[in-house]
Each structure stands twice: as C-alpha cells, then as structure tokens.
Amino acid sequence: MRKSIQIMILVIVLIILSTLPTYGMVTNVQNMDSENRRIFFIKDDNSLWYSGCNIARRPGITKEELHYEPIKIMDNVKGVSLGSFHNMVIKEDDSLWIWGLCGDGRLGYLTKEGHEFDTEEPIYIMDDVAYVGAGENHSLAVKKDGSLWTWGNNSGGQLGDGSTENRKLPTYIMDNVVIAKASAHTSMAIKEDGSLWAWGSNMHGNFGNGTEDNSLEPIKVMDDVIDISLTDTTTMILKKDGGLYTNGNTVYGSREYLGDDSEKGRSIPKKIMDDVIAIDSKIGVYLALKKDGSLWAWGGWNIGSSDGQKSHIPTKILDDVNSMAAGADVSMAVKNDGSLWVWGQDHDGALGFGQEELSIKFPKKLTDGMLLNVVEIAEEVEEVEEVEEVLEPTENVVDEDIEIETSNIISESQDTAYGQNKLLYIVIGLLVVIIMILGVALRKKSNSNS
C-alpha cells in the first residue's frame, strides 16, 4: 500500500508540473540589441523576443505596460537594431520593418498628406536589405546590392546627403557598403574593400582622421577595417588583423573611457587590444570579444567587472562567449551553448528577471520567472531628449485611408511576469498541501497496520 501511495504522489507531481508555464533558460540566441531600457534578442528559430519598457513601442501589445520577463513578439526575424525611440528589424525574406515613435522622419514613411505617425505595428519600408543601423533619431540601411540609404534627423549632417535637412523617406547615399552604424550625430560605413568612411559630427574627434572638422558627406578615414562601434563621443575600430583601436573624447559625465590609462581624448585612433573578433559600445559601456571566447569590458557604467561598475582599461568578465551587445542600462552576451547572460541596471524590467528596479553587477544567466542574486536597487538614468522638426515629404508615401501593411505578429495574449509567478506559487502551494494530505494518510495506514 505504501508503494502505491508513493507512486500516486509521483504521478500527481508530474501531472502538475506538466501544466506549469515553461520557465527554462533562454537559449539559442543568435542576434540581439539593447537600448534605452529595453532589450531585443533573436533565437535560432528566428523568433524575436523582448523585455523592458515601452518607450519605442512593440508589436502585438497596445497597452503601455512594462514587461519584466522576455516575451515573444515576432517570427521570421534575422536582424535587429534599436534606436532611442524606434526599432528596426530585417525579416528572413530580407524585408525591412520599423515601428516606434515618429519624429524627424526616423521611421522612414509618410501618409499621402505628408504626415508622420507613431506606430505599435511594424511598417514595411523596403526589400533586399542586408544590414541596418539605428541612430538616436536617424536610420541607416544597406541593401544587398551594397547601396546605403539614410533617413531621419540630419541636424549634424549625419545622413551624409550634403545637407542638414531632415529626410522623412530613405535617401540614397553611396555604393559598395557592407556595414553602416550611427550614434546621435555621427554615422560611419565600411565598404567592401575594407575602407572606413565617416560623416556628420566630428566635434569629439569621432572620425579618427586627426581633425575635429565635421562633414556633410562621407569622407574616407582608413583601410583594412572589418567593424566599428560608435557612441556620441567615442569610436571603436576593429581592423582585419584583430587589432582594436579607439578614438574620441571622454567628456560624457566621466563615463566614456578609451580603454587605456589616459583620460584625455584623441582624434587619432590608438591600438588598445589584439586578437579581437567583435566589438560593441553604448554610452559608458565598451565590450570586446577575443578569438579565444573571452569577453572584455571597460567604461564608467555597468560593465560587469569584478568591481561591478567601471574600469579605464579592458577587464575580463566572461569566457566561452559567442556574441554580445552593449547597453547603457543593460548589456548582454550569448555563450557558445546558446544561453543568454545579462547585467546592468534593471530600469523598467529590461534585465528580464521578472522584477523591476534591480541592479546586477555581474553577468547572470537569464531565466524566465526566477530572480537570481539581486545585489542592489537601481537608480534612475537621464532620459534622452527628442528633437522635433517637420519637413515636407518627397516620395513613396502611404495613403492615410488604407490599411497599413504590418508583419505577422504574435496576437495571442501574453501573461505578465507577475501573473505567471502568482500561478506558479499557487500550484506549488497546492502541491505541498496534496503531499501533506497523502503523507498523513500514509502514516495512518501504517499505524493501523501495526
């Protein structure tokens, strides 16, 4: 009889556990980005996931609530880039889709009347896109034929069209481009031959050409470059031989460091590391991935190091890393087993651990519905200011009266983190009660038999 009751308990436990929501590790991540209190990442099934605040909106969810745990929001996505107020994704068919808050033309579409509008649904922009780069208030797209297109705010000449006029629709700039990236007022592109080109604001020596002269059109900076990463005041340059170079200024609230012992800025790139294969940066956070899989960080804000906050020089923070993304609030890394690790300030749930207002100093594996080793309460960060300016439309407009085409989104209702946790606690409580009742029955049966 005792064995029968034990088997019954085991069966009940398995049945209850099979009905619980899945809280497994977030694994098999292949692409990601972090910006302005939110993170996006793409899993190897090309599904797009999100957690954090709603400052740039998101598809399928029209309420202004936050998400403290990752939720799936789109399928068939292979690339993502986040601006301060807008999101850009490339789908598997190479089409470009954008959603978020309008302003300065950053979303890249208009009605026939020439109006911009906010959208919570992804809007189709163009086909045959190979690479996208979202700036603070402008956008860059590289098509499969190597042509570079830009649109949005152009107050610093960051669109590269020879003017400072905003462009609300994609504008052709140059050919033979493979990578294009942007900060607030500076843009850069790498051509097929490895040459690096820069335009926009150079007031901090961002270009790395030995001057602080701005340019309204692309100018060549150097050769043999395979990747770049920009903040408002600094530039990271990765060359073909694995050498990592930095240049720019360190003025932003004493959080911008160039990866060496010097606290002075420079307009000529200086080599700070070897054997690097990938780089990324946001205000105050710089990441470099070496070919041995080690991840190194420096900067003055949430770098994930042993002291938890800042370092002037590169500090090793993780091993066995495949890719990474830097964020001013939250940074992420994917290990070779596909697991996603995060660290930083959890403003509005951006860390994805199911609870707001947290800080995690060291990289932690992201899990659904579980909070791991929280060390302190996060503090507020400064909001990014929008620039509002309206110019006349020029081409390819959308009729206000017709339904705007949107991507296939996940329309099923998503449980919130708190709702999921509440359900989990209730089920666990019921499980404990059932086990206690069966235990009492077992003891009574045992006593009667004796």
Extended strands (E) in 326-374: 330-335, 340-346, 358-365
Mean of pLDDT values over 163-183: 97
pLDDT exceeding 70 applies to what percent of the chain? Answer: 66
CA gap 418, 244 in Å, rounded? 43
Mean of pLDDT values over 145-172: 97
pLDDT of residue 83: 85
CA gap 150, 141 in Å, rounded? 6
Q: Is the pLDDT of residue 299 over 50?
A: yes
Three-state SS at 399: coil
Three-state SS at 8: helix
Q: Report residue 91: phi and psi, to 5°.
A: -90, 170
Which stretch of 261-275, 384-398, 419-433 has the lowest confidence by average pLDDT?
384-398
Mean of pLDDT values over 256-280: 91
Q: Is the pLDDT of residue 439 over 90?
A: no
Mean of pLDDT values over 128-150: 96
CA gap 388, 13 in Å, rounded? 58
The partner residues of 39 in beta bridges, in order of sequence, read 34, 51
Q: In this predicted model, what pLDDT tens digit does every residue of 307-331 receive, in sequence order?
A: 556 788 899 999 999 988 888 778 8
The partner residues of 346 in beta bridges, in order of sequence, read 358
Q: Is the pLDDT of residue 209 over 90?
A: yes
pLDDT of residue 270: 96
pLDDT of residue 366: 74
Q: Is the pLDDT of residue 298 over 50?
A: yes
Q: Is the pLDDT of residue 101 over 60?
A: yes
Q: Is the pLDDT of residue 223 over 80?
A: yes
Q: Are 40 and 87 in contact (CB under 8 A)?
A: yes
DSSP string computed for 43-68: ETT--EEEEE--TT--TT--S---EE
Q: In this predicted model, what pLDDT tens digit does every residue of 366-408 receive, in sequence order?
A: 743 322 222 222 222 233 333 333 333 333 444 333 333 433 3
Query: Model-level pTM?
Result: 0.74
pLDDT of residue 150: 98
pLDDT of residue 50: 78
Q: In this predicted model, what pLDDT tens digit does every residue of 227-243 receive, in sequence order?
A: 999 998 999 999 999 99
Which has more confidence, 239 or 47? 239
Q: Is the pLDDT of residue 57 over 80?
A: no
pLDDT of residue 2: 57
Q: Report residue 274: phi and psi, to 5°.
A: -120, 170
Which has more confidence, 13 or 154? 154
When the pLDDT of each residue in the chain is averaged and rounded to a whole number, the result is 76
pLDDT of residue 63: 42
Q: In this predicted model, what pLDDT tens digit does every residue of 16-35 receive, in sequence order?
A: 545 444 433 444 444 454 45
Which stretch of 122-131, 135-144, 248-257 has the lowest confidence by average pLDDT?
248-257
Which has more confidence, 426 or 108? 108
Q: Are 348 and 356 in contact (CB under 8 A)?
A: yes
Based on C-alpha coordinates, what's the Rg of the chain?
Answer: 25
Which stretch of 78-87, 153-162, 382-391 has the lowest confidence by average pLDDT?
382-391
Please say whether the dihedral angle defined by the alpha carbons of residues 268, 273, 277 and 280, taken in this order, is positive or negative.
negative
Mean of pLDDT values over 36-59: 70
CA gap 423, 427 in Å, rounded? 6
Domain locations in the chain as residue ranges = 2-449
Mean of pLDDT values over 330-349: 78
DSSP annotation of 223 reads S
Three-state SS at 101: coil
Q: Identify the architecture of domain 2-449 in CATH.
A: 7 Propeller (2.130)
DSSP string computed for 103-150: STTTT---BTT-----EEEEEEEESSEEEEEE-SSEEEEEETTS-EEE
pLDDT of residue 337: 85
Mean of pLDDT values over 36-63: 66
Q: What share of the chain is helix, strand, coil (3-state, %, to 5)?
A: 10, 40, 45
Mean of pLDDT values over 152-159: 97
The pLDDT confidence band at residue 96, using thresholds 50, 70 and 90, is: very high
Please say whether the dihedral angle defined by the alpha carbons of residues 90, 111, 199 and 192, taken in this order, is positive or negative.
positive
The pLDDT confidence band at residue 110, using thresholds 50, 70 and 90, is: confident
Q: In this predicted model, what pLDDT tens digit does every residue of 184-194 receive, in sequence order?
A: 999 999 999 99
pLDDT of residue 29: 43
CA gap 244, 227 in Å, rounded? 10
Residue among 337, 417, 410 at smallest CA distance from 77: 410
